A and B are shown apart, each in its own frame.
Chain A
Amino acid sequence: MDERWDVAGIDGEPLDQAALEGRAVLVVNVASRCGLTPQYEGLERLQARYGPAGFTVLGVPCNQFGGQEPGTPEEIQAFCSATYGTTFPLTEKLDVNGRRQHPLYAWLTKAPDGEGRAGEVEWNFEKFLVAPSGEIVNRFRPAVEPEDESVLEAIETVLAPLSPAR
Chain B
Amino acid sequence: MTIKATEVRVGDRLRTRTGAELTVTRIDERFMGRPGMLAFVEDSQAQWLKMPASRDGEVERVDGAPPAR
B51 touches A100 (CB 8 A): no
- CB within 8 Å of A: which of B37-52? 43-45, 47-52
Whether B32 sits at the interface, judged by CB under 8 Å, is yes
Q: Do A98 and B48 touch across chains, with their CB atoms under 8 A apart? A: yes
Q: What are 16 sample pairs from A and B whose C-beta atoms fall under 8 A apart?
A: A64-B49, A64-B50, A66-B17, A66-B51, A67-B16, A67-B18, A67-B20, A68-B18, A70-B19, A97-B43, A99-B43, A100-B48, A122-B32, A123-B31, A123-B50, A142-B32
Residue positions of B touching A, CB distance < 8 A: 16-20, 31-33, 43-45, 47-52
B49 with A67: CB separation less than 8 A: yes
Main secondary structure of the interface of A (DSSP, over half): loop
Asked whether, in the complex, the Cβ of B48 is within 8 Å of the Cβ of A99, the reply is yes
| Residue pair A63, B20 in contact (C-beta under 8 Å) | yes
Q: Once the chains bind, are A66 and B20 in contact (CB under 8 Å)?
A: yes
Q: Which residues of B contact A64 (CB under 8 A)?
A: 47-50
Cα-based distance from A65 to B51 in the complex (angstroms): 6
Q: Which residues of A contact B31 (CB under 8 A)?
A: 123
Supposing A95-B48, A123-B50 touch, asked if A66 and B16 sit within 8 A by C-beta, the answer is yes
Residues from chain B with a CB closer than 8 A to the CB of A97 are: 43, 48, 50
